Amino acid sequence: MEEISIGLVGAGTVGGGVVKILHKRKDFFRKKLKLPIKLARIADKQLSLLQDLPTDDAICSADAQDVLQDESINVVIELVGGTTFARKLVIEALERKKHVITANKALIAEYGPEIFECAEKNNVSLYFEAAVGGGMPVIKSIREGLVGNDIFSIKTIINGTCNYILTRMTTEGLPFDTVLKQAQQNGYAEADPALDIGGGDSGHKIAIMASLISGGYVPFNQINIEGITSISKEDIEFACELGYTIKLLGIINKNSEDNELDVRVNPAMLHTDHILASVSDVYNAVLLQGDAVGQILLYGKGAGQMPTASAVISDVLDVSRNIIGGNEIRIPTDHYSSSNMIDLKSINEITSRYYLRFTVKDKPYVLASISSVLGKQNISIASVIQKEGYSDNSVPVIILTHQASEKGIRAALSEIEKTDFIKAKTQMIRIED
């Protein structure tokens, strides 16, 4: 073997970064591997993007087939995104016995079993470090560095766009839409930003992490996912006043007493002392707990061109070393199979503390009625705030609860919503201790 030959499909935000690092560190990689890594071909529908990139001797075209049909190429990097064309591309590359590197979390979370089974059948590997946490080595840490542990809990801020939006809304009081536009301009957001703000992107990433720590396949479509679109400026202000900050969290809890995994994405109030509360802007963090190691925190930029390209390049070096060492499937992924599906706990079975913001008429007996319904569901109130200075027609009442069952909270809210003193939908945010 004289070189590792790479074909890149998709030279947009992340692909552009990959081209830059391969060019900049070419000599370093050659020294490390004692073989050159050659970027042989690049395909992107937007050929004009390639003009400003240091493509060296790579043959550039608009057609991904040019990459797939080149028999000299050992490794295909898929950075087009989406699950339609990307799925076909990845399957075809694997069937042509090429190793594949992807940053496409949607593809892995939704079509993981089909893709990993195809890789196994064709005796090649699929690498996906950039799919979770941008520049942070999350996959490598879980699969290799922490392999001696039963990882039983993960709490994570795993979407850069949402964290950027919530941070800017909190610190600068900026409106949601303005900050979302900035996140798009910075290259953080998905092509369809609804995936970010609706929680789907965090859901894809948490599904991948849950599959890795459970040794089975965690189906994305069974995860309870709530995004940040319902979080108002008012909630952010009340949270600050109470000593909390609001973050979009991915949560995995493995309980040894039952076999069901609690996997979910939801906005959460974190006390300002919480280790994740100060993770701001586009930064992500993954707080893991293993039975041997205890707590581990990974922290870094979760999106953007160069941080994500950094993770793709770590896969390029990994696959190159595995090919050179003749150990092409160093880490099997056979657990990622539809015959090995993990049962998830229903959201109704969890317990939590809750922030409840009721919008009510300011009249006698309202607080008493709310607390009576909560009491009937065995929900104990930890604190209550009602402010002066609003119109009699509509005042916010904030209640923080002690630990309560989700089922009880939902039943109580449903009963309270039917009363005539409620003026708008009640806001419920879980509090993570």
Are 209 and 261 within 8 A, CB to CB?
A: no
Residue from 6, 19, 44, 352 in contact with ligand NDP (CB under 6 A): 44
CA distance 250 to 297: 14
Residue 189 as a binder of ligand HSE (CB under 6 A): the answer is: yes
Site mask for ligand NDP (CB under 6 A), range 164-203, x = bound: -----------------------xx-xx------------
What CA–CA distance (Å, rounded) separates 369 from 376? 11
188 binds ligand HSE (CB under 6 A): yes
Using CB under 6 A as the binding rule, whether residue 129 contacts ligand HSE is answered as no
Residues within window 66-95 making contact with ligand NDP, judged by CB under 6 A: 79-81, 85
Q: Which stretch binds ligand NDP (CB under 6 A): 38-46, 90-98, 208-216, 246-254?
A: 38-46
Instruction: Verify whether residue 301 is a known catalytic residue.
Output: no
Nearer to ligand HSE, 79 or 422 (CB): 79
Taking the least distance from each CB to ligand HSE, the nearer of 7 and 250 is 250
* Residue 134 touches ligand NDP, criterion: CB under 6 A: yes
Question: Which CB sits closer to ligand HSE, 202 or 427?
Answer: 202
Tell whether residue 100 is a contact of ligand NDP (CB under 6 A).
no
In angstroms, the Cα distances linking 314 to 77, 102, 136, 139, 140 are 12, 12, 11, 11, 10
- Exactly one of 81, 113, 135, 160 binds ligand HSE (CB under 6 A); that residue is 160
Decide: is 161 part of the binding site for ligand HSE (CB under 6 A). yes
Q: How far is the CB of 81 from ligand NDP (least distance, A)?
A: 3
Distance CA 407, CA 418 (A): 17
Q: Does 124 bind ligand NDP (CB under 6 A)?
A: no
Q: Which is nearer to ligand NDP, 11 or 409 (CB)?
A: 11
- Min dist CB 352 to ligand NDP, Å, is 29
Single out the residue of 199, 200, 250, 302 in contact with ligand HSE (rule: CB under 6 A). Answer: 302
Task: Answer yes or no whether residue 156 interacts with ligand HSE by CB under 6 A.
Answer: no
User: What's the token pair of residue 100?
Assistant: 């594949």
Partner in contact with 104, chosen from ligand HSE, ligand NDP, none, beta carbon below 5 to 8 Å by kind: ligand NDP
Q: Rule CB under 6 A: is residue 159 a binding residue for ligand HSE? A: yes
CB of 136 to ligand HSE, least distance (A): 11
Q: Show the tokens assigned to 369.
A: 């009625």
| Minimum distance, C-beta of residue 330 to ligand HSE, in the bound complex (Å) | 25
Count CB atoms within 10 A of the CB of residue 153.
16
Annotated active-site residue in 38, 98, 155, 205: 205
> What amino acid positions are annotated as catalytic residues?
205
